[in-house]
Amino acid sequence: MKFCNLGPKFGLVIVAVIVSAQLIAQNIDYTREQYDAYQKCSVVADPSAKQACMLAFIKANPKLSLIQYAIGEYGKALQEQIKNGEHAKVLEAGPVLLKLRPNDPNINLITQLCYSAYSAGQFAVAAPYCEKTYASNPAPGLIIILANSYQKMGEKSKYRDWGTKAIDTLEPAQTLQYVIDFRSQAARAEKWRQAANYSRKAISTLSKMSKSENVSAADWRTFVSRERSISYLLLGRNEYESQNWARSAVNYQRVIDNTRDRNMRGEAYYYIGMCNWKENRLTPAMEAFARGANQKGSPHAGASNGYLVRLYKSTHNDSEAGLGEFRARANAR
């Protein structure tokens, strides 16, 4: 072919077109019939039917370049099922494709399986998929999914790992549940220093949070008051176990300042009494025990009353004369 009469620029354009056409021809590795088969599957409306059609196409033509498009259409059908809340169908169809192409990991498909398994409450199924997804795409939401999944499964070590990761990296509103839970676990195990650390974290986290639109102002105040009070209780207990009597009493006083809960106030007054007694401050100790004994029905009320009587008698010639008046004065303050 001669280009001399057409001009040099036009000749270069024709050459470029011929080269592009040759490259396209080299990349097309399928017949018209194979393309039509793929196209027929791609327009199927029902997600399950589309998956079945695409799966048959992939099995029949495993090496065609069209396979990647077929996998994409398969994923679209899965996404439609997720949108419709049909997670059981996703969990049935997704692994079939993964098993068919084990050497071709599809992170989008694995992510879909992670989400559907978690949404369906199949936490043991969700966790491995979600870990693979996180390794490829460390999205914050996956941390919560993994922490919650391992918590539901009773996998304490992995739950703590992912819960700690959440606390270290996510927003306060997303992490308070883990802080509170780890604080409670430490308290039940009487690991007071650990409980105190989570208590400080809880107080700090609460200070950074705002009320949710779904919670009334009164309910939010009650919640914050309770959680702060529990945290101060544990801070007080940690200082008490470390024999830091003054700091312990300060934290227990914060409990009293933050809550009207009889059980927590009863415990706080009891330990304030014990702290003062340890420092040989007998009158303040008796006053705290008198107030603790007045928290009727609280677990520490009986012990506070017993120590009040014991200390009062030891300072009044083994007599209880005037004890009633002392109680009244103490509780009037």
> Model-level pTM?
0.83
Reported as a single tens digit per residue, the pLDDT across 256-288 is 999 999 999 999 999 999 999 999 999 999 999
Residue 34: burial class (beta carbons within 10 Å; 0-12, 13-18, 19+): middle
Q: Which residue has the higher pLDDT, 7 or 144?
A: 144
Is residue 4 predicted with pLDDT exceeding 50? no
pLDDT of residue 71: 94
Question: pLDDT confidence of 29, banded at 50, 70, 90?
Answer: confident
Whether 289 and 311 have beta carbons less than 8 Å apart is answered as yes
Is residue 331 predicted with pLDDT exceeding 90? yes
Q: Spell out the residues 6+ positions from residue 301 whose beta carbon is closer than 8 angstroms to its own.
A: 266, 292, 293, 294, 295
Whether 256 and 265 have beta carbons less than 8 Å apart is answered as yes
For range 99-106, the mean pLDDT: 84
Residue 178: burial class (beta carbons within 10 Å; 0-12, 13-18, 19+): buried
Which residue, among 288, 296, 299, has the nearest Cα to 326 in the 3D structure?
Answer: 288
- Looking up tokens 């992939």 gives 58
Reported as a single tens digit per residue, the pLDDT across 157-205 is 999 999 999 999 999 989 999 999 999 999 999 999 999 999 999 999 9
Separation of CA 173 from chain center: 10
- Tell me the H-state helices in the chain: 8-27, 32-42, 47-60, 67-83, 87-100, 107-119, 123-136, 140-153, 156-169, 172-188, 192-207, 217-241, 245-258, 262-278, 282-293, 301-314, 323-332
Which residue, among 268, 277, 262, 275, has the nearest Cα to 315 in the 3D structure?
Answer: 277
Which tokens belong to 305?
Answer: 């009353």
State the chain's mean pLDDT as an integer: 91
pLDDT of residue 28: 78
**Whole-number Cα distances in Å, 102 to 63, 95, 98, 157, 213:** 14, 10, 6, 30, 46
Whole-angstrom distance, CA of residue 255 vs CA of residue 239: 14
Is residue 20 predicted with pLDDT exceeding 50? no
Give the number of other CB atoms < 10 A from CB of residue 212.
Answer: 10
**Radius of gyration of the CA atoms of the chain, in A:** 35
Is residue 34 predicted with pLDDT exceeding 50? yes
Which tokens belong to 79?
Answer: 């996404």
Whole-angstrom distance, CA of residue 272 vs CA of residue 263: 14
Whole-angstrom distance, CA of residue 300 vs CA of residue 290: 11
Which residue, among 187, 139, 194, 188, has the nearest Cα to 165 in the 3D structure?
Answer: 139
Question: pLDDT confidence of 1, banded at 50, 70, 90?
Answer: very low
pLDDT of residue 104: 77
Is residue 130 predicted with pLDDT exceeding 80? yes
Reported as a single tens digit per residue, the pLDDT across 46-96 is 999 999 999 999 999 998 999 999 999 999 999 999 999 999 999 999 999
Reported as a single tens digit per residue, the pLDDT across 205-262 is 999 999 888 999 999 999 999 999 999 999 999 999 999 999 999 999 999 999 999 9
Mean pLDDT is lowest, of 95-104, 139-148, 310-319, for 95-104
Is residue 17 predicted with pLDDT exceeding 80? no
Separation of CA 245 from chain center: 36
Is residue 10 predicted with pLDDT exceeding 60? no
pLDDT of residue 27: 65
Which residue, among 161, 242, 170, 230, has the nearest Cα to 200 in the 3D structure?
Answer: 230
pLDDT of residue 14: 32
